[in-house]
């Protein structure tokens, strides 16, 4: 069997971390199994869908390194959906209903008041041809409902294990609105059949939908894919992410300087039994992926944890992997600079701060001017290397009697303006003799 999955975003906005996690889990399984991924653009909502957002989705996936093997736009496939709807109408499984929203709402309230479940009563099935004609003569247009079997639908979920939905507990779903627009369910099933989708991996908020979709698959004569429903993302505090999704888009994460592999590593590992650690490739994540590792509790997305993962990844990256991006940030000061500062940054743009500290001008912090002047007089001449710092510090220690923190802290403060940072042995040669001398004398340099 050729394994095929699909990722189906709507081009009504940019991808956010919730979308990315759905995409990623599909890709990891496909890669692990040697399968393929269809990028399906769900753009049947012609009023809200835009080509700009569609291109943005493609750009976001490309930045993440998630490459699809096939692509389809639902807006190009209305004929296929019309054909499927015609087939269901002919079999009597798709029927017209004429109630308004107000009438349906009243029915729900009456059912709840009398202790009955608020499901559709199928009154439309009892209408005669004459009654339907009268309603349409009044100007009413039908919406079209799919007639559920009223039986149980069972499947083995790849994440949740055995699942069962009693379709008698559900309202017959509306598949086509009064204005003729298709709702999500029918086009999705038609596409899954036509594109030979074998596995549907998505959030657990779609579990109930699965019972309905299985029946539509069967009614259209298509094979039923395997399902996997994973827990949704929540914030670090366990609360909903919905209010923050705009600031957690792929574009925002990239603009802040996050590494694509850090984002993918974090999203692949949260909510699983694996430790949340960076991996250097999607292939490495795919090799470790397993549905059995996904827990049943919601996965907590913590921006601070993502930053820690990002920092861990940066600390291992060689200069060649970041050189071009450092240049765009105007923070490329060579391989020695990168090796000196990478352990002290969480996001790549932070390298600009250290580039500025190396090049200046900075305002030195000199709490003890006499100590700093004495140190300035002891600066060696010529080019510096990593051994220069040790020799210089030893000379200052012998001259002033300072040692330990009393020796190293005032030197760091004067040379960098900070009381923390990379190893001075690595920074000192980058600062150089001229700037070091001016800074130790309290001059801006």
Give residue-wise pLDDT tens across range 402-425: 999 999 999 999 999 999 999 999
Residues 6+ apart with CB under 8 A from 223: 193, 217
User: Are the C-beta atoms of residues 174 and 95 closer than 8 Å to each other?
Assistant: no
- Convert the pLDDT of each residue in 305-350 to its tens digit: 999 999 999 999 999 999 999 999 999 999 999 999 999 999 999 9
Of 268, 219, 248, 196, which is closest to residue 37 (Cα–Cα)?
196
**Can you tell me the distance from the alpha carbon of 260 to that of 401, in angstroms, rounded to the nearest whole number?**
49
pLDDT at 307: 97
Residue reference for tokens 């990844």: 313
**Can you tell me the distance from the alpha carbon of 142 to that of 127, in angstroms, rounded to the nearest whole number?**
12
- Region 28-34 average pLDDT: 98
**Can you tell me the distance from the alpha carbon of 350 to that of 342, in angstroms, rounded to the nearest whole number?**
9
**Full DSSP string of 308-354:** HHHHHHHTT--HHHHHHHHHHTT----HHHHHHHGGG-SSGGGHHHH
Print burial letters for 338-373: b (CB count within 10 Å at least 16), e (below 16): bebbbebbbbbebbeebbebbbeebebbbeeeebbe
For residue 161, list its beta bridge partners: 157
- Convert the pLDDT of each residue in 160-174 to its tens digit: 999 999 999 999 999
**Can you tell me the distance from the alpha carbon of 352 to that of 345, in angstroms, rounded to the nearest whole number?**
10
Angle (CA) 429-433-437 rounded to 5° is 130
- Convert the pLDDT of each residue in 182-206 to its tens digit: 999 999 999 999 999 999 999 999 9
| Assigned fold of 4-73+184-234 | Rossmann fold (3.40.50)
The CATH class of the 80-176 domain is: alpha beta
**Can you tell me the distance from the alpha carbon of 277 to that of 220, in angstroms, rounded to the nearest whole number?**
44
Share of the chain above pLDDT 70, in %: 98
pLDDT at 116: 87
**Can you tell me the distance from the alpha carbon of 339 to that of 256, in angstroms, rounded to the nearest whole number?**
22
**Which CATH number is 369-440 given?**
1.10.10.350
Instruction: Report which DSSP code applies to 186.
Output: H
**Can you tell me the distance from the alpha carbon of 24 to that of 272, in angstroms, rounded to the nearest whole number?**
14
User: Helix, strand, or coil here: 277?
Assistant: coil
**Can you tell me the distance from the alpha carbon of 285 to that of 23, in angstroms, rounded to the nearest whole number?**
13
Structure tokens at 80: 């296929």
Residue reference for tokens 């996997």: 228
**Can you tell me the distance from the alpha carbon of 409 to that of 203, in angstroms, rounded to the nearest whole number?**
52
Instruction: Grade residue 46 by pLDDT with cuts at 50, 70 and 90.
Output: confident
| Assigned fold of 235-314 | 1.10.1160
pLDDT at 243: 54
Instruction: Report which DSSP code applies to 417.
Output: S
pLDDT at 241: 75
């Amino acid at each position: 069997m050729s394994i095929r999955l699909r990722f189906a975003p709507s081009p009504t906005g940019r991808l956010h971390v919730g979308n990315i996690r759905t995409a990623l889990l599909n890709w990891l399984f496909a890669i692990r199994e040697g399968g393929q991924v269809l990028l399906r653009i769900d753009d049947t909502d012609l009023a809200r869908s835009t080509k700009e957002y569609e291109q943005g989705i493609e750009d976001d996936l490309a930045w993440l390194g998630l490459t699809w093997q096939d692509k389809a736009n639902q807006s190009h496939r209305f004929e296929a959906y019309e054909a499927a709807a015609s087939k269901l109408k002919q079999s009597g499984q798709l029927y017209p209903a004429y109630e308004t929203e107000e009438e349906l709402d009243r029915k729900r309230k009456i059912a709840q008041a009398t202790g009955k479940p608020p499901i559709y009563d199928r009154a439309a099935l009892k209408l005669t041809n004459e009654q339907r004609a009268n309603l349409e003569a009044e100007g009413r247009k039908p919406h079209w409902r799919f007639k559920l079997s009223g039986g149980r639908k069972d499947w083995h979920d790849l994440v949740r294990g055995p699942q069962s939905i009693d379709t008698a507990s559900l309202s017959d779903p509306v598949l086509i609105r009064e204005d003729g627009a298709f709702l999500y369910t029918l086009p999705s099933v038609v596409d899954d059949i036509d594109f030979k989708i074998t596995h549907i991996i998505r959030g657990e908020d779609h579990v109930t939908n699965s019972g309905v979709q299985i029946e539509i698959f069967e009614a259209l004569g298509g094979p039923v894919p395997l399902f996997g429903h994973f827990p949704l993302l929540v914030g670090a505090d366990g609360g909903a992410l919905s209010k923050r999704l705009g600031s957690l888009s792929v574009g925002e994460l990239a603009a802040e300087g996050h590494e694509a592999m850090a984002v993918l590593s974090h999203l692949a590992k949260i909510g699983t039994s694996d430790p949340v650690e960076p991996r250097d490739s999607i292939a490495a994540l795919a090799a470790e992926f397993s549905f059995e590792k996904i827990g049943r509790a919601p996965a907590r997305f913590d921006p601070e944890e993502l930053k820690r993962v990002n920092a861990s990844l940066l600390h291992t990256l060689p200069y060649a992997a970041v050189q071009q991006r450092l240049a765009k940030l105007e923070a490329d000061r060579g391989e020695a600079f990168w090796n000196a500062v990478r352990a002290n940054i969480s996001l790549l743009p932070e390298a600009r701060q250290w580039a500025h500290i190396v090049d200046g001008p900075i305002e030195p912090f000199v709490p003890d001017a006499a100590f700093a002047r004495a140190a300035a007089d002891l600066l060696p001449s010529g080019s510096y290397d990593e051994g220069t710092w040790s020799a210089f510090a030893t000379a200052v220690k012998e001259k002033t009697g300072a040692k330990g923190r009393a020796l190293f802290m005032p030197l760091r403060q004067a040379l960098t303006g900070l009381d923390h940072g990379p190893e001075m042995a690595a920074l000192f040669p980058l600062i150089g003799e001229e700037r070091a001398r001016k800074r130790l004398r309290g001059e801006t340099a």
